[in-house]
Chain A
Amino acid sequence: MPALGAPPALRVFGVTKRFGAVVANKDISLDVARGEIHAIVGENGAGKSTLMSILMGMVTPDAGEIFVDGVRARIRSPRDAAALGLGMVHQHFMLVDTLDVLDNVMLGAEGGALLAAGRKRARARLADLSRAHGLSVDPDAIVGDLPVGLRQRVEILKALARDARIIILDEPTAALTPDEANDLGLLMRWLAADGASILFITHKLNEALAVADRISVLRAGAVVATHAAAATDARELARAMVGRDVDNALSRGDGPPGRTLLEARDLTARGADGRARLSGVSLSLRAGEIVGVAGVAGHGQSELIEVLAAMRRMESGALALDGEPVDAAVYDPARARALGVAHVPEDRSRHGIVGEFPAAGNAILGRHRDRALGRRLLDPGAIRARCADLMERWDVRPRAPDTPVGRFSGGNQQKLVFAREIEAGPAILLVGQPTRGVDIGAIEAIHRRLLALRDAGKAILLVSVELDEIFALSDRILVMHEGRIVGERATASTDRREIGLLMAGVVERAA
């Protein structure tokens, strides 16, 4: 617990940063005491990343001051930040994949022009840290070969090896299994008890509530609330984040699922590197049900949805749509669409939209052969009208068919993609990470729509790394690990713990 009377380890006072007309940080003030875990929650674009970049010296604020241990600090570069004892664990790890763990830990703090002495010191330091915190990792392993959880550990060790006393973790649980996330929470507690101050950035309110001492909510660049974790709840935080009440009660019809619309047997697929990504995956999808696919990122879920959507070649296996076998040799995305399969890809900006194209063009991508859009030549008027209609029905804002879609918010881009895919009337919907980079308001809307589609008799396959989402929407849950389906559960008869164990590859015991 924070010592009384001592100045806070970190004080941010009145920090403001503008990028052009956008105010990314507006008069932000917050304190982190010694030994405190302070969570910062907020939606995408609320200004969390900008604030962190300012603290780490990557961005210079327009106004405001930062105090470390009560002393005014000038942080002009990452080097200054490190010298003041600030360390950061980035969401997208700042590691060099081709180097080994030692070199990564040393980089930027090599301690001399020649590496040999520094490597020796770093090796000793890692051994100490391993003893002190139980954070062991092979110092000679190439970072690119390590699993995500261990790579994050290297990031943490990198900060600790530099004697960081104020540690910033940016969305650290995004790529972890629930168990790994729990371990990370324990580590944060341990480090805080040891006197470190921790800034924990997340969009998962439950995690913030479980781990943090205090929670600050960022909305539109400003701190709108700071609560003691013990004195608040998810509902209050969500309201502060969004600026209105969030109703996350979802309702679903209780009709039984209908006939099988998609049946896959023994699908296998390889990545570009020749490694197996799918090994004998079988699943079926019936009308009127949502089947969730859970798993740690990178365990074959992406490949599964790509194979089903004809974006990746299946090496072997069989696929049947509505009882009709599909000829793998001629199954391509256009054919998939013709057969009533719609696809909302998980990487929206790569496969879902063309950012530079106007919204109107994006609203017909892949659906452009529709005669209603023009017979020989495309009819721009008809395309704009189609887009305007989709925008109206899905509440895409702004209603601006001519604006490049890259300028829309993530949530509105995603709504446009959903509108395009769903309004074409598919029987089967393949959805990857439907709410990635999407604000809470749009998440609500998308979840409701998905359930409505389910109730209307569509078959929906939902791949998501957000377990909350899987649990909220799915009727059945499939768990993937290393390219296989390692478990299937009815949502009603399982819990997060069991799914989490399956995700971690803990093999099912014969019960």
Chain B
Amino acid sequence: MAMENILSFLGAALRLSTPLIYACLAGLWSERAGVIDVGLEGKMLAGAFAGAAVAALTGDVGIGLAAAVAASMTLAAAQGFVEVERGGDQIVCGMAVNMIGAGVTAFVGAALFAEGGRTPALPREARVLPFVWGQDALTLGAFGVAAITAFILYRTRFGLRLRAAGENPRALDAAGGSVRATRHAAVAVCGLLCGLSGADLSLAQAAGFLPAMTAGKGFIALAALVFAKWRPGAALATCLLFGGLDAAAIRMEGAPLPFLGVIPTQAFQALPYLMTVVLLAGFVGGARPPAAAGQPYRRE
């Protein structure tokens, strides 16, 4: 019984961590290249909706996944145009993406399916299903993406240039690298991963899309990114921790703890944020963002 409990808790923690891992790594790609992205949430919503809607219409999970990625990357491309090409304010643009994500998905969903913004419940063949140890391909893939991210970032030419673009883009430019191309590529990967994060929510964890189903996960992912100090391995670990807390919150609901009695689930849910605030306040080592994050690059 106890063993079963632990396994089911771990399974839930993994499942709940998955969208966070994708979103957090998405933010990592963008911000290590010097482009702050507060629009993860909007791109995740777009991905979740497009994935569920297309899967519902075609009945094919593969096409659904592709649609999720395409929708999110379209928004990312728009961000790339505004933020990299035109030097627009990255925070404002990210917030705009969040509003577009929230508004357009609900609106189009209501217009297409007339179910108050929901998409129809997906049949089994249109969903991402568990196939090994009760886990699905997206969850397992998240670990792979973390490993690939670390490899590219630290072991490849592209990764070196990406880090340079985030720390001192002038140095990259003067050395003959293209800040523009590097940042565009980073933002595109960010879009790709946000799409997978959204698809996980609507195609794996649920059988369809609900308006605002991301419920702030894009921002939790940003908090995790700060907590992980913009490092891929730490990002993975932090998201697992946050997912674990989430799973614990669900299990603890109404169950009394020794000495403490019944703790409101909100207390658990608030923990990731509290941890981030404590970190940002400088109590747990400093979290120093990439030096050029948020600054559009222009030659003088």
A94 adjacent to B171 (CB under 8 Å)? yes
In the bound complex, CA of A110 to CA of B176 (Å) = 11
Question: Cβ of B155: which chain A residues have Cβ within 8 Å of it?
Answer: 114-116
A97 adjacent to B176 (CB under 8 Å)? no
Question: Cβ of A104: which chain B residues have Cβ within 8 Å of it?
Answer: 171
A90 within 8 A of B: yes
In the bound complex, CA of A93 to CA of B177 (Å) = 16
Minimum C-beta distance from B174 to chain A (A): 4
A107 adjacent to B291 (CB under 8 Å)? no
A23 within 8 A of B: no
A88 within 8 A of B: yes
A106 within 8 A of B: yes
In the bound complex, CA of A97 to CA of B167 (Å) = 8
A99 adjacent to B163 (CB under 8 Å)? yes
In the bound complex, CA of A109 to CA of B170 (Å) = 15
Question: Cβ of B161: which chain A residues have Cβ within 8 Å of it?
Answer: 107-108
In the bound complex, CA of A350 to CA of B123 (Å) = 62
Minimum CB distance partner of B299 in chain A: A58
B156 adjacent to A115 (CB under 8 Å)? yes
Question: Cβ of A90: which chain B residues have Cβ within 8 Å of it?
Answer: 174
B164 within 8 A of A: yes
Assuming A97-B168, A114-B156, is B176 touching A77 (CB within 8 A)? yes
Question: Cβ of B154: which chain A residues have Cβ within 8 Å of it?
Answer: 115
B168 adjacent to A96 (CB under 8 Å)? yes
Assuming A97-B168, A114-B157, is B174 touching A109 (CB within 8 A)? no
A500 within 8 A of B: no
In the bound complex, CA of A336 to CA of B205 (Å) = 64
A96 adjacent to B171 (CB under 8 Å)? yes
Minimum C-beta distance from A103 to chain B (A): 6
A108 adjacent to B177 (CB under 8 Å)? yes
B175 adjacent to A108 (CB under 8 Å)? yes
In the bound complex, CA of A118 to CA of B158 (Å) = 13
B176 adjacent to A96 (CB under 8 Å)? no
B291 adjacent to A118 (CB under 8 Å)? no
Prevailing SS type, chain B contact patch: helix
In the bound complex, CA of A156 to CA of B7 (Å) = 58
In the bound complex, CA of A118 to CA of B161 (Å) = 14
Interface members, chain B 280-297 (any A CB < 8 Å): 291
Hey, what's the 0/1 contact readout for B168-203 against A, CB within 8 Å counting as 1? 101111111100000000000000000000000000
Minimum CB distance partner of B164 in chain A: A96
A99 adjacent to B167 (CB under 8 Å)? yes
A113 adjacent to B175 (CB under 8 Å)? no
Assuming A94-B168, A96-B163, A116-B155, is B173 touching A107 (CB within 8 A)? no
A133 within 8 A of B: no
Minimum CB distance partner of B292 in chain A: A96
Question: Cβ of A96: which chain B residues have Cβ within 8 Å of it?
Answer: 163-164, 167-168, 171-172
In the bound complex, CA of A79 to CA of B156 (Å) = 19
Pick the contact of B157: A77, A94, A110 (CB < 8 A): A110
A10 within 8 A of B: no
Question: Cβ of A97: which chain B residues have Cβ within 8 Å of it?
Answer: 167-168, 291
Pick the contact of B291: A82, A98, A106, A114 (CB < 8 A): A98
Minimum C-beta distance from A308 to chain B (A): 28
Minimum CB distance partner of B157 in chain A: A110
B172 adjacent to A108 (CB under 8 Å)? yes
B262 within 8 A of A: no
In the bound complex, CA of A110 to CA of B172 (Å) = 12
Question: Cβ of A109: which chain B residues have Cβ within 8 Å of it?
Answer: 175-176
Prevailing SS type, chain A contact patch: loop
B157 adjacent to A56 (CB under 8 Å)? no
Question: Cβ of A114: which chain B residues have Cβ within 8 Å of it?
Answer: 155-157
In the bound complex, CA of A158 to CA of B174 (Å) = 11
In the bound complex, CA of A106 to CA of B160 (Å) = 9
Question: Cβ of B168: which chain A residues have Cβ within 8 Å of it?
Answer: 94-97
Minimum C-beta distance from B296 to chain A (A): 17
Hey, what's the 0/1 contact readout for A52-71 against B, CB within 8 Å counting as 1? 01001011000000000000
In the bound complex, CA of A194 to CA of B30 (Å) = 44
In the bound complex, CA of A109 to CA of B163 (Å) = 15
Assuming A94-B171, A99-B167, is B176 touching A108 (CB within 8 A)? yes
Question: Cβ of B167: which chain A residues have Cβ within 8 Å of it?
Answer: 96-99
Question: Cβ of A107: which chain B residues have Cβ within 8 Å of it?
Answer: 160-161, 164, 171-172, 175, 177
Minimum CB distance partner of B167 in chain A: A96
A78 within 8 A of B: yes
In the bound complex, CA of A331 to CA of B209 (Å) = 61
A79 adjacent to B176 (CB under 8 Å)? yes
Pick the contact of B173: A58, A95, A106 (CB < 8 A): A58
Minimum C-beta distance from A201 to chain B (A): 15
B171 adjacent to A78 (CB under 8 Å)? no
Minimum CB distance partner of B177 in chain A: A108
Assuming A95-B168, A96-B168, A97-B168, is B176 touching A78 (CB within 8 A)? yes
Which of A96, A97, A113, A118 has the most CB atoms of chain B within a 10 A radius of its CB? A96
Assuming A98-B291, A107-B177, is B157 touching A112 (CB within 8 A)? yes
In the bound complex, CA of A81 to CA of B173 (Å) = 12
A82 adjacent to B176 (CB under 8 Å)? yes
Minimum CB distance partner of A111 in chain B: B157
Question: Cβ of A59: which chain B residues have Cβ within 8 Å of it?
Answer: 299
In the bound complex, CA of A218 to CA of B282 (Å) = 49
Minimum C-beta distance from A131 to chain B (A): 24
A118 adjacent to B157 (CB under 8 Å)? yes
Interface members, chain A 104-146 (any B CB < 8 Å): 104, 106-110, 112-116, 118
Interface members, chain B 259-275 (any A CB < 8 Å): none
In the bound complex, CA of A127 to CA of B4 (Å) = 59
Minimum C-beta distance from A56 to chain B (A): 7
A115 adjacent to B171 (CB under 8 Å)? no
| A-B contacts besides A58-B173, A114-B157, A116-B155, 17 pairs, CB < 8 Å | A78-B173, A78-B174, A78-B176, A90-B174, A95-B171, A96-B164, A96-B167, A96-B171, A96-B172, A99-B167, A104-B171, A106-B160, A107-B171, A107-B172, A107-B177, A108-B175, A110-B157
Q: Which residues of A contact B (CB under 8 A)?
A: 53, 56, 58-59, 77-79, 81-82, 88, 90, 93-99, 103-104, 106-110, 112-116, 118, 158
Q: Which residues of B contact A (CB under 8 A)?
A: 154-161, 163-164, 167-168, 170-177, 291, 299-300
23 A–B contact pairs at CB < 8 A? A56-B174, A58-B300, A59-B299, A78-B173, A79-B176, A82-B176, A93-B171, A94-B171, A94-B174, A95-B171, A96-B168, A98-B167, A99-B160, A107-B160, A107-B161, A108-B161, A108-B174, A108-B175, A112-B157, A113-B157, A114-B157, A115-B154, A115-B155
